[in-house]
Structure 1
Amino acid sequence: MAKVSRPPPAVALVLVLVGLVAAVADAAPGPRGLTRYTRVFAFGNSLTDTGNAAIFPATAGGPFTRPPYGQTYFGQPSGRASDGRLIIDFLADELRVPQPTPYLAGRTAADFLNGTNFAVGGATALDPAFLVTKGIMSFVPISLSNQTSWFQNVLRLLNSSSVYEQRKVMASSVFYVGEIGLNDYFFALNSNSVDVAVSLVPHVIGAIRSALTAMIAAGARTVVVTGMLPIGCEPQQLALFPGGPGDYDPATGCIARFNEIAERHNLALRVMLGELRLAHPGRSLSYADIYRAVTRAVASPTLYGFGGMPLAACCGGGGGPYNFNFTTFCSAPGSAACADPSKSISWDGIHFTEAANRFLTRAMLKGLL
């Protein structure tokens, strides 16, 4: 395995990342008396999943478990939907905490003591039964409410002794809610219309709010919530929904009406987080923006170290400006290898390259300064 490249220690930057202005009393003291976090609890979909989809029966043996996934960093598939590391990997590295154990890979309290990743590739924010009422079929029967239930299971394992011990664990933990809701909107767009996808926004935000409320009730004090990425910049969507000249943002080439869904989502998410901050003073609830970082990189790729085709999938096939076709999806027979993922934003037309994930992590840090 390649050696992890660690940035210089930056305790103050870590505190900024999680939105803290003072140490949490119950957390373990770190350098200079500042709060030191000991673990991460992560939630989300394939943009955050580090191995659950590779174990879950409905997705085991899927694309992420086959080469060339993992080629850049791990040298082999690691269950991550990328050529290498994800935002959660870079975040854990920045926080100086262990990589959280995929929930489905653990069994005992010892397995989860250093953190847990509940994210599952293909997961939705909304329960599959609700999506069916909207005429939407999901492919992975895992939603954010399932991940919240898994968190409660881990909590019972870790904190069977006393309420005080539970408070200590929660106070010294960072809760990272990766982007969630993208699959809900994807499925709506693929089977219905933009209007149906837009109608899901308040429900998706409500599902995220319910999950955050459960975390706060359990004692979570530091929560980072990632916003929606620009849906209309995804090579998959661009290839599946060709339009006329007026359908594209002239600055980015992305589908404008799809990006408007993401903008609605992000506005509603920020409003909801503001309401929770007022209801729960003393808790740090930070919004992590990746939307603007992606659109900036797509509009000016060379400025940020990427190549001249920012809307094309690196791995897979299909040719054209987006290089995406489901029949030649990355790792499928007949798919083309990716010669230099470091110059691409999209790895397979849906997920980011390691280079893009590193870029997005840095953008998140700067955006929370």
Structure 2
Amino acid sequence: MASSSSLFLMILLVLCSGSLYVSGSSCYTSIISFGDSLADTGSLKQLARISHQLYPCLLAPYGESFLADPTGRCSNGRLIIDFLAESLGLQLIPPFMHKLTERRGASEQGVNYAVAGATALDSSFLEAKWTENSVINASLNVQLEWFKQSLPSICGNTSNCKNFIGSSLILMGEIGGNDYSFPLLVGEPIDEAKSYVPLVIDTIVSTVNELIDMGAQTLVVPGNFPIGCSSSYLTTRSSDNDDEYDPTTGCLINLNEFAEYHNNLLQTKLNQIREVHPDVTLIYADYYNAAMQFYRSPNEFGFTNGALKACCGGEGPFNYNLTVRCGDESATVCDQPDTYVNWDGVHLTEAAYKIIFKSLFQGPYTTPQFSSLCATTALQRGVELSSDMCINFEYAFLLKLLTAYCYCKSDPNGFTNRALKACCGGEGSFNYNLTMRCGDELATVCDQPDTYVNWDGVHLTEAAYKIIFKSLFQGPYTTPQFNSLCATLASRRGVDYRALSYLDWFSEENPLKGLSCSNGLT
């Protein structure tokens, strides 16, 4: 049983380090990913070997900033999913098409079914409308079928697979961008692409619902990027009318409004799913506004070569040319891709994806915020937090208390002898003397230590530690709030843990005694 002194020691260590690290495995044990080239980590590369086709993303200089060679990622380096996996302490998520002739890549830490060029709608539907285009047969429905087929090799029986899916973080794309590119890149009216949006959204929603039925508990569903800022669209849908361009960003207004139409409809549908499944954590990832940060202020994010011109491409105003793509021998490549947002006219650079990752998973651009959900989700499922997931303690309350101690005539916390003078020590202004420490025969000791903050010039009194304890673990001074994480677990034992007194926590009768982080409290 933890003693009060050991708890105080823990708090001291926390105050010195600034954070509390909880040992154990990752908040999510695996990542399951679906989508297109924004998430593909190598499936297209394997499909190309099988079909003997060559795609630009498989040629140099793709991958030059990551493993120096093309990995199948359509960028110069890592993607959002790579940064996410690293942040959760997971290995990079392998592509489903892992070997030349086998649909493999299954891993206990996840699998990535995304394929560059994939669409939300079935390829047969799109090819019927756009007969001149070849559509990769890797639609969202196809990827979902691959997932179902591979489950036995990942998790074995139905019960284990439901647990696997439930403890996984599921990424639903981005998906849908390629569906819209067929009409938009050939100059069709935006209304033609707009007619696809409800169909695309319904496909995404149907897949989300099916995954929930299979046991999914946490799903991240991204919206579309601001495609009006894409080098490819700025080139193929250029206009002589200045009013069609955003004066702040230089992006095409009508295309960004189209992306927002997709995103708004998607969020409406996600809210409907939340009403039906309140126990499922359904996260909307706002790719649009996360990216608009650097389209509005590229220099603030280190993109000194701007946000609209591609690093690698076929020259022209935006270094994008349909006849000379990145990967072609005659394509030009910039020297410093980290100073560019756009990599090849369609996809972004590793530097841009890293900022988007941080804005989404460590910042405010998800609804609800992912950064505040991870710890709660782990505790609710009996999963220990990873060593890189910490609860940060705030010090504003300490400053506030010290201000009160130093300047107020009466102290609401009972420290009538203020905060700076030690209770036990060697006299002097603060009752502290290097030659006469607390414990020495000649040291002086106060009669009422509970009226002092400082005990011996270095350490605090029990009364002070008690207030710190309550402020942290029963109050608002942890991020996320510790008391909100414990409530669910405590209620399962029929206990209102906030009603426990300070000493109750250390008593033999504490009904929460023995709970560890993996099954409740720590």
The answer to whether the 8 A contact 1:311-1:346 is kept is yes
The answer to whether the 8 A contact 1:108-1:157 is kept is no
State which of 103, 111, 121 in structure 1 corresponds to 2:96.
103
The answer to whether the 8 A contact 2:274-2:280 is kept is yes
Cα distance, 1:98–1:292 mapped onto 2, change above 3 Å: same
In the alignment, the residues of structure 2 paired with residue 114 and residue 172 of structure 1 have an alpha-carbon distance, to the nearest angstrom, of 10
Q: Where does residue 490 of structure 2 map in the other structure? A: none
State which of 145, 148, 154 in structure 2 corresponds to 1:149.
145
Q: Which has the higher contact order (CA 8 A, sep 6+)?
A: 1
Residues 1:37 and 2:28 are matched in the alignment:
yes
The answer to whether the 8 A contact 1:131-1:138 is kept is no
Residues 1:185 and 2:180 are matched in the alignment:
yes
Structure 1 residues 288-309: Cα deviation after superposition (integer angstroms, max 9, x where no partner): 1111122221121001111243
Structure 1 residues 141-163: Cα deviation after superposition (integer angstroms, max 9, x where no partner): 221111111111122333433x3
State which of 197, 201, 225 in structure 2 corresponds to 1:201.
197
Superposition pairs of residues 308-347 of structure 1, within 5 angstroms: 308-320=305-317, 322-347=318-343
1:185 maps to amino acid:
Y
In the alignment, the residues of structure 2 paired with residue 145 and residue 335 of structure 1 have an alpha-carbon distance, to the nearest angstrom, of 35
1:232 Cα offset (Å):
0.8
Q: Where does residue 215 of structure 1 map in the other structure? A: 211
State which of 273, 293, 296 in structure 1 corresponds to 2:293.
296
In the alignment, the residues of structure 2 paired with residue 60 and residue 41 of structure 1 have an alpha-carbon distance, to the nearest angstrom, of 27
Cα distance, 1:210–1:289 mapped onto 2, change above 3 Å: same
The answer to whether the 8 A contact 1:86-1:357 is kept is yes
The structure number with the bigger radius of gyration is: 2
Secondary structure at the counterpart of residue 334 of structure 2: coil
Residues 1:169 and 2:135 are matched in the alignment:
no
The answer to whether the 8 A contact 2:249-2:296 is kept is yes
Structure 1 residues 165-208: Cα deviation after superposition (integer angstroms, max 9, x where no partner): 12221122110112111111111212432111111111110010
State which of 42, 57, 76 in structure 2 corresponds to 1:51.
42
Q: Where does residue 5 of structure 1 map in the other structure? A: none
1:132 Cα offset (Å):
3.9
In the alignment, the residues of structure 2 paired with residue 155 and residue 264 of structure 1 have an alpha-carbon distance, to the nearest angstrom, of 35
The answer to whether the 8 A contact 1:102-1:117 is kept is yes
In the alignment, the residues of structure 2 paired with residue 279 and residue 78 of structure 1 have an alpha-carbon distance, to the nearest angstrom, of 40
Q: Where does residue 496 of structure 2 map in the other structure? A: none
Q: Where does residue 65 of structure 1 map in the other structure? A: 58
In the alignment, the residues of structure 2 paired with residue 109 and residue 302 of structure 1 have an alpha-carbon distance, to the nearest angstrom, of 42
Q: Where does residue 434 of structure 2 map in the other structure? A: none
Residues 1:258 and 2:258 are matched in the alignment:
no
Secondary structure at the counterpart of residue 333 of structure 2: coil
Residues 1:78 and 2:71 are matched in the alignment:
yes
1:120 Cα offset (Å):
0.4
The answer to whether the 8 A contact 2:342-2:349 is kept is yes
Cα distance, 1:35–1:62 mapped onto 2, change above 3 Å: closer
State which of 110, 116, 133 in structure 2 corresponds to 1:115.
110
In the alignment, the residues of structure 1 paired with residue 23 and residue 98 of structure 2 have an alpha-carbon distance, to the nearest angstrom, of 36
1:311 maps to amino acid:
L
Residues 1:88 and 2:81 are matched in the alignment:
yes
Residues 1:246 and 2:246 are matched in the alignment:
no
Greater displacement, 325-334 / 59-68: 59-68
1:350 Cα offset (Å):
0.3
Q: Where does residue 139 of structure 1 map in the other structure? A: 135
1:222 maps to amino acid:
T
In the alignment, the residues of structure 2 paired with residue 234 and residue 262 of structure 1 have an alpha-carbon distance, to the nearest angstrom, of 12
Matched residue count: 341
2:356 maps to amino acid:
L
1:113 Cα offset (Å):
2.5
Cα distance, 1:102–1:277 mapped onto 2, change above 3 Å: same
Secondary structure at the counterpart of residue 332 of structure 2: coil
Cα distance, 1:109–1:252 mapped onto 2, change above 3 Å: closer
Secondary structure at the counterpart of residue 214 of structure 1: helix
Q: Where does residue 307 of structure 1 map in the other structure? A: 304
TM-score by length of 1: 0.87
Residues 1:271 and 2:268 are matched in the alignment:
yes
Structure 1 residues 245-290: Cα deviation after superposition (integer angstroms, max 9, x where no partner): 1111122111111111100111011111111111112111100111
Secondary structure at the counterpart of residue 40 of structure 1: strand
TM-score by length of 2: 0.62
The answer to whether the 8 A contact 1:148-1:214 is kept is no
Cα distance, 1:167–1:340 mapped onto 2, change above 3 Å: same
Secondary structure at the counterpart of residue 115 of structure 2: coil
Cα distance, 1:294–1:59 mapped onto 2, change above 3 Å: farther
Residues 1:284 and 2:254 are matched in the alignment:
no
In the alignment, the residues of structure 2 paired with residue 346 and residue 186 of structure 1 have an alpha-carbon distance, to the nearest angstrom, of 17
Cα distance, 1:52–1:33 mapped onto 2, change above 3 Å: closer
Please list every run of 5 or more consecutive structure 1 residues that lacks an aligned counterpart in the other structure.
Answer: 1-9, 13-29
Q: Where does residue 356 of structure 2 map in the other structure? A: 360
Cα distance, 1:208–1:291 mapped onto 2, change above 3 Å: same
Residues 1:231 and 2:222 are matched in the alignment:
no
In the alignment, the residues of structure 2 paired with residue 193 and residue 271 of structure 1 have an alpha-carbon distance, to the nearest angstrom, of 25
In the alignment, the residues of structure 2 paired with residue 301 and residue 284 of structure 1 have an alpha-carbon distance, to the nearest angstrom, of 33
In the alignment, the residues of structure 2 paired with residue 11 and residue 267 of structure 1 have an alpha-carbon distance, to the nearest angstrom, of 38
Greater displacement, 229-238 / 110-119: 110-119
1:138 Cα offset (Å):
4.8
The answer to whether the 8 A contact 2:43-2:98 is kept is yes
Greater displacement, 168-177 / 196-205: 168-177
Secondary structure at the counterpart of residue 282 of structure 2: strand
1:115 Cα offset (Å):
0.9
